[in-house]
Chains A and B, each alone.
Chain A
Amino acid sequence: MKKQITQRNAWDKVLAKLTKRSLWMLHYCTGCGAIELPPTMTARFDMERFGVLPMVTPRQADLLLITGYLSIKTLKRIILSYEQMQSPKWVVAFGSCTINGGMYWNSYATIKRLDMYLPVEIYIAGCMPRPEAIIESFTKLIQRIDEGKANSWKDYYTNYDFYRKNQERVFGKIETYNDIKADGEKFDIQQP
């Protein structure tokens, strides 16, 4: 990810300090990594300590966890869900499948690199990552939000043509219900 120079005033810094403590994740799990989430939520690892809470609809969520391989059919639903989420929003990609295809390298039905289709904030390597690694990624994300570096979601507004082209290369023409560019102009999300 290229280095970004952002100017933040004091109010933004205070808000970052407060909002980093509350991250709601979309409870939509796609691959085998979903099995690592129940121990992360419950008594042993308890991610609610960091304010990370599972939420059931995309409208309420800030985090989208892609837990493992993504088949083309699922990717379409993921994109629809992602576009329904309200910015700022972050994608956390689990495991090697989302980085380079992993053990599904030869599969005709899965995609290989997730960041061609959606802006990914954090990758967790491993097959599968343990709950410790997931907690580590959450703390890393919290730290990045605090420093004002977690801006990958702006990339989807400013660089939408790139993502749309890649999405249409996989699906052909698809129908999505959100006009991303108009939203970017309306809510003044212009520069990366």
Chain B
Amino acid sequence: MNTVLWIVFYPFIAFFIGIMYMGYSRKFNARVERRYGPSWIQPFYDIVKLMTKRTNISHGWMHDISLLMLLGGTLATLMFIPVPGFSYFAGYGDMLVIMYLILVPSLGMALGVGETANPNGSIGISRALMMLAGYDVPFVLSFIGMGMLNHTTSMFDLIQIQQSNGIASWGIVTNPLLGLAALFALQGMLGEKPFEVYVAPHEIATGPMSEMGGKFLGIMFITHAITIFLELTIFINLFLGGAFTWIGLIVKQLIVFTLVLSVNIVFGRYRVDDAMRFMWKIPGSLALLGIILIIFQQLRS
């Protein structure tokens, strides 16, 4: 019974926490620019407005279905992420499942944006998939590295191993190179500034979102809120020892997210090829080095 309640309410909890982070990010950016900034729940107002638009333009059924694929893929990934109090599915599917499921939202978005036939949208989605190929390399390598280090591919076991010995057993301490690579990948996954190539409002008119209005854009905003929660939680579960309570989880997420936002506010945008090259060169080689270190450690012992 408890599990059923969690399955029903977990997406809502993730959404509300994610939307707070969206508001936090806008307030943070405003404060750095010495503005007063919008209210903390501004994204909530935006979503209400978008969902209550009177007219909507649909570009065919693929356009409608793809957004459900976007939201559904994100929710499916969310279910496999263990959080304090809920790890029902995390026992069945491990990190490999998450690695595959996390690709589904981007593919869903690609289908729908292709249907709209907007050139800006097509450029945007091709950039998004290219960026995906960029940040997936350090991300997957750090997944594999953590698995090799702890002899498990279950995220639940990984959290338990990291919680066994306090901070000394956290992933970021036991193998800082993998943690650093994953932090770079997180910046790309959240679509923040140096790797914001596929939104790029001044260049390609917000890319995949350029033909979306009203309820379509509303669903994209909801998905983005859940994605922020999901990706921060993955990073924390892998490298910061998970969390015992929700308060602890939120504090850790806020620290990581503030770090990401601080990088976001001071950097400009990379070109697409530069972003790819950076992702494969620096975080990719960091992660490879981390894996080589792990292999040597295990050969010696």
State A61–B54 Cα separation when bound (angstroms): 13
Interface segment among A51-59, A67-75, A161-169: the answer is A51-59
- On whether the beta carbons of B45 and A49 are closer than 8 Å, the reply is no
State A183–B213 Cα separation when bound (angstroms): 15
Q: Could you show 20 A-B contacts with beta carbons less than 8 Å apart? A: A18-B44, A19-B45, A21-B39, A22-B48, A43-B34, A49-B35, A49-B38, A51-B39, A51-B45, A55-B206, A56-B201, A57-B210, A59-B210, A60-B206, A62-B49, A86-B53, A86-B54, A86-B213, A87-B53, A88-B53
User: C-beta contact mask, B21-57 vs A, less than 8 Å → 1, else 0?
Assistant: 0000010001001111111001011101100111111
Q: A21-B45, A87-B53 are in contact. Are A42 and B205 (CB under 8 A)?
A: no
Contact of A59 among B30, B39, B45, B211 (CB under 8 A): B211
Smallest distance from the beta carbon of B58 to chain A beta carbons, Å?
A: 11
Q: Identify the interface centre among B38, B48, B57, B206: most chain A CB within 10 Å of its CB.
A: B38
Contact of A22 among B34, B49, B213 (CB under 8 A): B49
Smallest distance from the beta carbon of B51 to chain A beta carbons, Å?
A: 10
Q: A15-B48, A86-B55, A189-B54 are in contact. Are A60 and B35 (CB under 8 A)?
A: no
- When distances are taken between beta carbons in the complex, the residues of chain B under 8 Å from A24 are 46
Give residues in B with beta carbon < 8 Å to A: 26, 30, 33-39, 42, 44-46, 48-49, 52-57, 120, 201-202, 205-206, 209-214, 217
- On whether the beta carbons of B55 and A59 are closer than 8 Å, the reply is no
- On whether the beta carbons of A19 and B213 are closer than 8 Å, the reply is no
- On whether the beta carbons of A19 and B48 are closer than 8 Å, the reply is yes
Dominant SS among interface residues on chain A: loop
- On whether the beta carbons of A57 and B211 are closer than 8 Å, the reply is yes
Q: Which residue of chain B has its CB nearest to the CB of A19?
A: B49
- On whether the beta carbons of A46 and B55 are closer than 8 Å, the reply is no
- When distances are taken between beta carbons in the complex, the residues of chain B under 8 Å from A51 are 38-39, 42, 45-46
State A62–B55 Cα separation when bound (angstroms): 12
- On whether the beta carbons of B42 and A43 are closer than 8 Å, the reply is no
A48 within 8 A of B: yes
Smallest distance from the beta carbon of A188 to chain B beta carbons, Å?
A: 8
- When distances are taken between beta carbons in the complex, the residues of chain B under 8 Å from A108 are none
Q: Which residue of chain B has its CB nearest to the CB of A184?
A: B55
State A110–B33 Cα separation when bound (angstroms): 38
- When distances are taken between beta carbons in the complex, the residues of chain A under 8 Å from B48 are 15, 18-19, 22
- When distances are taken between beta carbons in the complex, the residues of chain A under 8 Å from B52 are 15, 19
- When distances are taken between beta carbons in the complex, the residues of chain B under 8 Å from A57 are 120, 205-206, 209-211
Q: A19-B45, A57-B211, A59-B212 are in contact. Are A49 and B56 (CB under 8 A)?
A: no
Smallest distance from the beta carbon of A52 to chain B beta carbons, Å?
A: 9
- When distances are taken between beta carbons in the complex, the residues of chain B under 8 Å from A55 are 206
User: C-beta contact mask, A12-27 vs B, less than 8 Å → 1, else 0?
Assistant: 0001001101101000
- On whether the beta carbons of B213 and A59 are closer than 8 Å, the reply is yes
Smallest distance from the beta carbon of A1 to chain B beta carbons, Å?
A: 20
Q: Which residue of chain A has its CB nearest to the CB of B120?
A: A57
- On whether the beta carbons of A22 and B42 are closer than 8 Å, the reply is yes
- On whether the beta carbons of B37 and A60 are closer than 8 Å, the reply is no
Smallest distance from the beta carbon of A24 to chain B beta carbons, Å?
A: 8
Q: A22-B45, A86-B57 are in contact. Are A60 and B38 (CB under 8 A)?
A: no
- On whether the beta carbons of B206 and A46 are closer than 8 Å, the reply is no
State A85–B53 Cα separation when bound (angstroms): 11
Q: Identify the interface centre among A18, A60, A88: most chain B CB within 10 Å of its CB.
A: A60
Q: Identify the interface centre among B33, B35, B37: most chain A CB within 10 Å of its CB.
A: B35
State A189–B55 Cα separation when bound (angstroms): 9
Smallest distance from the beta carbon of B219 to chain A beta carbons, Å?
A: 13
- On whether the beta carbons of A48 and B206 are closer than 8 Å, the reply is no
State A48–B47 Cα separation when bound (angstroms): 16
- When distances are taken between beta carbons in the complex, the residues of chain A under 8 Å from B206 are 55-57, 60
Q: Identify the interface centre among A18, A86, A189: most chain B CB within 10 Å of its CB.
A: A86
- When distances are taken between beta carbons in the complex, the residues of chain B under 8 Å from A19 are 45, 48-49, 52
- When distances are taken between beta carbons in the complex, the residues of chain A under 8 Å from B56 are 86
State A46–B202 Cα separation when bound (angstroms): 20
Smallest distance from the beta carbon of A170 to chain B beta carbons, Å?
A: 26
- On whether the beta carbons of B205 and A43 are closer than 8 Å, the reply is no
Q: A42-B35, A56-B210 are in contact. Are A48 and B30 (CB under 8 A)?
A: yes
- On whether the beta carbons of B45 and A42 are closer than 8 Å, the reply is no
Contact of B42 among A21, A42, A62, A85 (CB under 8 A): A21
